[in-house]
Amino acid sequence: MDRHTCEACCIGKATKTACATLKSRQSREVCELIHSDLCGPMPVKSIGGSRYFITFTDDFSRSVTVLCISSKEEVKSCVKSYIARIEREKDRKVKRFRTDNGLEFCNKELSEYFKSAGIKHEKSNVETPQTNGVAERINRTLLDLTRSMLKSAHLPPKFWAEAVTTAAYIKNRVCHSTIRDQIPFTVWTEKIPSVRHLKAYGCLAYARLPDQGRKKLDDKAAECIFVGYATQTRGYRLWCPQKGDVIITKHVKFAEDKIGHEWIYKEVPQRFKYNEVWPGDVDDSTTEEMEPAQKQLSCKKKSLSRLPKRTDVELGDSSERETAEERESTETPRRGRPKRKARNPYGRKGKPKETQQICEEEEASTEASDIEVNLIEVREPQDINEALASPQSKQWRCAIKEEVDSLVQRKTWEITQLPEGKKCVGYKWVFKLKANADGKITRYKARLVARGFTQRKEVDYGETYSPVVNFSVIRLLSALSVEYQWHTRHIDVKNAYLYGNLREEIYIELPPFTNAENGEVARLLRPIYGLKQSGRNWNEELDTFLI
């Protein structure tokens, strides 16, 4: 210590040493120096379950890569995979790797990895993040962009992972002052990036639905929210409220003038409520009449499970009824027709997984009118355990027994022991609700379906092709029958596949409601739904009968 230095002042007035600001790059080529840092934990989990994100910034090109992770334990694997990827991509070795003193980077496993790979691990001083300024600055920039993007798109915080990766994607395609206003993407790949595919973040997008699972009159596109760009394929990342997940597709049209549409985003898919009136179903006068009934229904919402299926609801007090009667006297009375129909929110696959149906009918009367509300809450089970545990277990049990009795009556199988070397094909119960035009449930249907994807070709099945009628042929025959006044009949064959004959030796486990001992299985004598050859066998049987 110098003799002119005051020891008391050094102890009492200690300050941090200023860090020099570097205005140029510290490397001469890509992969020479990599800056990295971990940011988190975030206050909420992302839609993929992440709580942190780690950034890797190449010093020469300033190209940034963002990886979202759920815990700090994943940092080690992320560092190894990133270094291996860029070394193979650029055919160059990473020489220096700069981080802070966090334990996620300063541990035995990564130290041995850097030592074996010949990479110099540069660490910042304790409580001196300035020495790792490139990584710290990119974290701040990405978080600022993320907050602004989520705010403008009116998206909840759980979309932060999608926003931060999109922000990094955009930042790699804009000019950077440190590299003399060059583009990081161009310096890294030696290619000029295209910006024609860039869209306004959070805008409304119409994603085309796949043909599989879509019926003739179903919607061909779904309303989604644009949340990012795909990295491993050419496409866009879209949040689909109907599916409740992110989908990646190229077939999409954007409405960039519609940003921040909160009505399309739903945390949970919106279900039809008991007292909800769908827009466009009723007129103003009907809405006024329904308000007292809706209030009474909402007060009894907690005891709906104990209500009978049909309940009479009074329409307010006498003065309101008189007003309603005067209003109806000026209009043409509609006898026997429903005053309004509350539709079920059908999904894109045709039938809802959960339905809460309201059927309100007006009784024909010239002096007073009562509204009869049918409250039904039914959920289509996903498996047999859920069906037998549901409030409608009695109906589902009858449907299962009806299906099993039909299979037994058609002599679909024979009960035997499983031969050695043979495997059983699995099966699954499919439950569906059948409703009429008014939305009233008329039938509970259960179907035993084989898991055909477990069959082995040339062992459990051979040819599977069966012709399908073309709708143009049906239209042609219908036109001819009208022109020549032919008598036309439509025939629906119940359990059509059970009329075919199965040639292959296939075994399945015995379904419930069958008298069988332990270890016994069913050898199929007739094809059931789900087998790969069922359609072909039925077509051959029909051809033999008709020809």
Q: How far apart are CA 531 and CA 523, in angstroms?
A: 13
What confidence score (pLDDT) does residue 23 get? 65
The answer to whether 60 and 30 have CB atoms below 8 angstroms apart is yes
Q: Of 342, 411, 350, 337, whose CA–CA distance to 380 is shortest?
A: 350
Q: What are phi and psi of 95, to 5 degrees?
A: -100, -40
What confidence score (pLDDT) does residue 377 get? 55
Task: Provide CB contacts within 8 A for 87, sequence distance 6+.
Answer: 31, 93, 94
**Tokens 């979202």 map to which residue?**
68
pLDDT less than 50: residues of the chain: 266-290, 293, 295-297, 299-334, 337-376
Q: Which fold has domain 33-189?
A: Nucleotidyltransferase; domain 5 (3.30.420)
Enumerate the β-bridge partners of residue 226. Answer: 238
**Tokens 């477990």 map to which residue?**
454
What confidence score (pLDDT) does residue 96 get? 93
Element (DSSP H or E) covering residue 321: helix 318-329
Domain borders along the chain are: 33-189, 203-259, 284-379, 395-546
What confidence score (pLDDT) does residue 12 get? 83
The amino acid present at 109, given as its one-letter code, is E
Q: Of 383, 405, 409, whose CA–CA distance to 396 is shortest?
A: 383
C-alpha dihedral over 512, 517, 518, 524, to 10 degrees? Answer: -60
Q: What does the DSSP assignment read for 10-71? A: HHHS--PPPPPPP-S-S-SSTTSEEEEEEE---SS--TTS--EEEEEEETTT--EEEEEESS
Task: Provide CB contacts within 8 A for 346, sequence distance 6+.
Answer: 352
H-only helix segments in 346-459: 384-389, 393-409
What confidence score (pLDDT) does residue 513 get? 67
Q: How far apart are CA 151 and CA 531, in angstroms?
A: 51
